[in-house]
Amino acid sequence: MMLSDADILRRLEEGDLVIDPLDDPDLQVQPASVDFRLGDEFLEFDNGNISCIDPNNERDMEEYVTKKTVPQDESYILHAGEFVLGTTKERLEVPNDLIAHVNGRSSLGRIAIVVHATAGVVDPGYKGQITLELSNLGTTPVALTPDMRIAQLTFTQLKSPAERPYGEERGSKYQEQKGPQATRIQGDREFGGEQ
């Protein structure tokens, strides 16, 4: 069952669903979703530094991105065909009986901006900011301004709470992330990690 605005507000009031800060609930809480805003940090890919991204090479993972912070009252220009990692301003805590889905806002989709490539699911138990996989599929650069509403999160109630939610007990790689985070795929079992 997907949560309505009334359900979302009730869960926020009860405190088991956390969205912080939620500065303007009247604007951000939609009929069945919550608008999340864009943070001011981005990870840009340094394509000239390496020949390819190799998940088996941890050194590559540290060297192929550069962090950029956008000063207040300025915008990040996402050029046509570019892909960067961004972050939400809001921090989210998902209770064990909910799953969240990250979706783009239709107003941004109409100017060719997408907010996730594949990472559209936020597991039960997750805590932290959301890393956004931002792409400009169009032919014209687009200015993205920190604090603008960038994504919508919807929430679905599970039939029963997750027995093994996302988190420390599972060794979850992105728990409590702050700001955009580059891939940690080298921690996957198939690349010699534990997950």
Structure tokens at 119: 């990472």
Find, among 5, 190, 12, 189, the residue nearest to 93 by Cα.
12
Residues 70-97: what's their mean pLDDT? 96
The question of whether 176 is a catalytic residue gets the answer no
Catalytic residue from among 82, 133, 169, 190: 133
What band does 125 get if pLDDT is binned at 50, 70 and 90? very high
Find, among 184, 168, 186, the residue nearest to 176 by Cα.
168
Q: Could you give the CA distance from residue 10 to residue 155 in angstroms, rounded to a whole number?
A: 13
Binding residue positions for dCTP: 105-110, 123, 131-133, 152, 166, 173, 177
pLDDT, tens digit (0-9, with 9 covering 90-100), for 30-39: 999 999 999 9
Binding residue positions: 105-110, 123, 131-133, 152, 166, 173, 177
Tell me the pTM: 0.91
